[in-house]
Chain A
């Protein structure tokens, strides 16, 4: 359906995540869009900038908050063919983190490379 409606050419969708999880609902509801959007067979990438990198950290335990821990869902993205996850290097380092601290394999990129990735998109969704 989407292939036809878009003239057979998939659009490049980028989801930009800049907020930490749990303090607000944006991270969770953004991920819900990614999961629904995966069915549309577009060219999907996720960018994690600034506090957005906190969404991906290992060891999240939300039992005390009585809210859903949505970090394991990032591991399921691969099943939806969403495999392009870009994390800003400077954001990780500034927060004392490295790729090894994250729940999924990501591509750690420089700000320069991230800017190029953003520039190449058709649709940028930020929440």
Chain B
């Protein structure tokens, strides 16, 4: 399953909830304000690093760049463009949007 998260992890619990329900092998795509979770050295970085042991985490590059975060993305989080977003949807049987 592909999960999308579009909320900042500093104000909302969408990412935390998503990670609670994301099973081994799932993919999580951070979009819109969700991309802030992809940054290094934040209060949630450890949580994201821990999640990377069981799920793949991606961040939408145009959203990362729009927020000036292109040099702050942590290792292990992969950047995709909108085409990559489409590919992720194709590769997974269903999509859960954690709005």
Chain A positions within 8 Å of B, measured between CB atoms, are: 16, 18, 49-50, 111, 114-116, 118-119, 121-124, 126-127
- Establish whether residues B98 and A126, one from each chain, have CB atoms under 8 Å apart when the complex forms: yes
In the complex the two chains form, is B17's CB within 8 Å of A118's CB? no
- Identify the B interface with A (CB < 8 A): 1, 13, 17, 20-23, 93-99
Nearest 6 pairs of A and B residues by beta carbon: A115-B21, A124-B96, A126-B97, A115-B23, A111-B20, A126-B99
Contacting residues, chain A, for B97 (C-beta < 8 A): 124, 126
Q: Do A119 and B17 touch across chains, with their CB atoms under 8 A apart?
A: no
- List of A residues within 8 angstroms of B23 by Cβ: 115-116, 119
> Which residues of chain B have C-beta atoms less than 8 A from A115's C-beta?
20-23
Tell me the nearest residue of chain A to B14, going by C-beta. Answer: A18
Q: Smallest CB-CB separation from B23: which chain A residue?
A: A115
> Would B95 and A18 count as touching, CB distance under 8 A?
no
**Contact between chains at A18 and B96 (CB < 8 Å):** no
User: Smallest distance from the beta carbon of B90 to chain A beta carbons, Å?
Assistant: 15
**What's the least CB distance linking B34 to chain A, in Å?**
14
Nearest opposing residue in chain A for B1, CB measure = A119
Contacts of B22 in A (CB 8 A): 115
